[in-house]
A = this chain, B = another copy of it.
Amino acid sequence: MLSKLRCCFYGSKVRERIAVLLFQHKSKKQQQAESKLSTQKTTKMELGISTFGEVAPDSGAGKAVNAHQRVQELLEEVKLADEVGLDVYSFGEHHRPDFVVSAPEIMMAAAAAITKNIKLSSSVIVLSSADPVRVFQNLATIDLISNGRAEMMAGRGSFTESFPLFGYNLNDYDELFSEKLDLLLKINQQEVISWKGKFRAHLSNQGIYPRPLQSSIPIWLAVGGTPSSAVRAGKLNLPLAIAILGSPPQQFVPFVNLYRESAQKAGHDVSKLQLAISSQFYIAEDSKQAADEFYPSYEKLMNRVGKDRGWSPMSKAQFEYLRNDGPLVVCNVQLAIDKIMQQYEMFHNTRFLAQLVTGATPHHKVLKAIELFGTQVAPVIRKELGVEKPAAVDAI
């Protein structure tokens, strides 16, 4: 059954499968040792939302009515998420007619201007095909607009449309990311830099402006399931974001341990590592209602993406399996609390990101799900974990 399950977005089917195999080939003893490492006490739990802005493409070029409506809805969603006290809201980059966000920083900037406390992030910015100088300037400006609430999740890209669009070769997939991350991290630390690389013009004692309000922009690595990505994040002491979409969450424990081990080996303080777990999410007063309202959006998305990737069509049975025994958080309030807490017990993650899938769900129902998440799910989880609602900005 599992091998037939699908995953998407941050991780390809192949990469998520690697994480699963990594788990299955560990001995009992290794698993116990890893479990110990993974249960180290963390000090915070942020609860937030990520979106890709799915949209029904307009029939042709010209007036983008659907896209317009979707953007307006996204702004309402982030405003509400802020009002109900959620901690973070992130926008994901795609370059396709069926997703409205190709410029996550632009959406983040608009969101920054109409919110007060919520952190604004990207899930993800495809750093491999972006210019780190522009990305940093965008984020620093958003940080100044938001009074220090900007952050970034950087990824190699699960969808590949951005590579030919910006003139990059998929053969350089990892090397591109590695080099651009190196430059971005340097710009984030230094106002004036000199730098040489293979994929971008050299910089010679040049200043990058403006500087952010925070001492630096928090940069997360968002990954699929490739072990070397966990090692990279650990070695670099960077926060890690994992999307668990098509496999049982426990199969990611070795992957998370690999991250923490890599950080420990590199001499970093493991207790300070940040980890985000993201799962597809929709809640309603009643679990069956949640499933019924969510499934049309989910089926549509999975089949549209699956068409490009050679997946068999989504079935109700697969959906029910993923909802009951897999990572999908599509249920009522109490079951959502239980599922997020189960994940926490497994990973001791510092953040849970609810990945909204909303293409065919009426907007007012999506808003209701956000409201329930902020007002009924989040307070219980914070109480159970003894987590103070964190100040919006902890780095100023």
State the A residues within 8 Å of B (CB).
55, 58, 60-65, 67-68, 71-72, 75, 95-97, 99-103, 105-107, 109-114, 131, 133-134, 137-138, 140-142, 144-145, 147, 164-168, 189-192, 200-204, 206-215, 396
Which partner residue on chain B sits nearest A115 by CB separation? Answer: B113
Find out whether the CB atom of A63 lies under 8 angstroms from the CB atom of B213.
yes
Which partner residue on chain B sits nearest A135 by CB separation? Answer: B103
Among B100, B109, B144, B167, contact of A64 (Cβ-Cβ < 8 Å): B144
Q: Which of A72, A144, A207, A213 has the most CB of B within 10 A?
A: A144
Q: Given A68-B213, A105-B106, A210-B64, A113–B75 Cβ distance below 8 Å?
A: yes
A291 to B65, CA, bound (A): 48
Which partner residue on chain B sits nearest A94 by CB separation? Answer: B209
Find out whether the CB atom of B61 lies under 8 angstroms from the CB atom of A210.
no
9 contacts between A and B (CB under 8 A): A67-B211, A68-B213, A71-B144, A95-B207, A103-B105, A103-B141, A106-B141, A110-B145, A168-B201
Find out whether the CB atom of A103 lies under 8 angstroms from the CB atom of B204.
no
Q: Given A111-B113, A147-B68, A166-B133, A209–B106 Cβ distance below 8 Å?
A: no
A61 to chain B, nearest CB (A): 3
A211 to B75, CA, bound (A): 18
Q: Which of A72, A141, A192, A212 has the most CB of B within 10 A?
A: A141
Among B109, B200, B202, contact of A109 (Cβ-Cβ < 8 Å): B109
A100 to B144, CA, bound (A): 10
Which partner residue on chain B sits nearest A104 by CB separation? Answer: B141
A196 to chain B, nearest CB (A): 12
Among B63, B164, B201, B203, contact of A396 (Cβ-Cβ < 8 Å): B63
Find out whether the CB atom of B213 lies under 8 angstroms from the CB atom of A96.
no
List the 4 shortest-distance A-B pairs measured between CB atoms, nearest first: A167-B201, A61-B191, A109-B109, A110-B113
A99 to B210, CA, bound (A): 8
A334 to B373, CA, bound (A): 57
CB neighbours (8 Å) of A131 from chain B are 131, 166
Among B71, B190, B191, B210, contact of A145 (Cβ-Cβ < 8 Å): B71
Q: Given A113-B113, A201-B167, A215-B62, A145–B209 Cβ distance below 8 Å?
A: no
A145 to B74, CA, bound (A): 10
CB neighbours (8 Å) of A204 from chain B are 164
A107 to B144, CA, bound (A): 10
CB neighbours (8 Å) of A64 from chain B are 140, 144, 210-213
CB neighbours (8 Å) of A68 from chain B are 144, 147, 213
Q: Given A63-B215, A211-B67, A213-B63, A110–B112 Cβ distance below 8 Å?
A: yes
Find out whether the CB atom of B112 lies under 8 angstroms from the CB atom of A200.
no
A104 to chain B, nearest CB (A): 9
Which partner residue on chain B sits nearest A60 by CB separation? Answer: B191
A261 to chain B, nearest CB (A): 33
A145 to B111, CA, bound (A): 10
CB neighbours (8 Å) of A103 from chain B are 105, 134, 137-138, 141
CB neighbours (8 Å) of A65 from chain B are 213
A185 to chain B, nearest CB (A): 14
A67 to B112, CA, bound (A): 16
A149 to chain B, nearest CB (A): 12
A301 to chain B, nearest CB (A): 17
CB neighbours (8 Å) of A211 from chain B are 58, 61-64, 67
A97 to chain B, nearest CB (A): 5
A134 to B208, CA, bound (A): 19
CB neighbours (8 Å) of A99 from chain B are 209
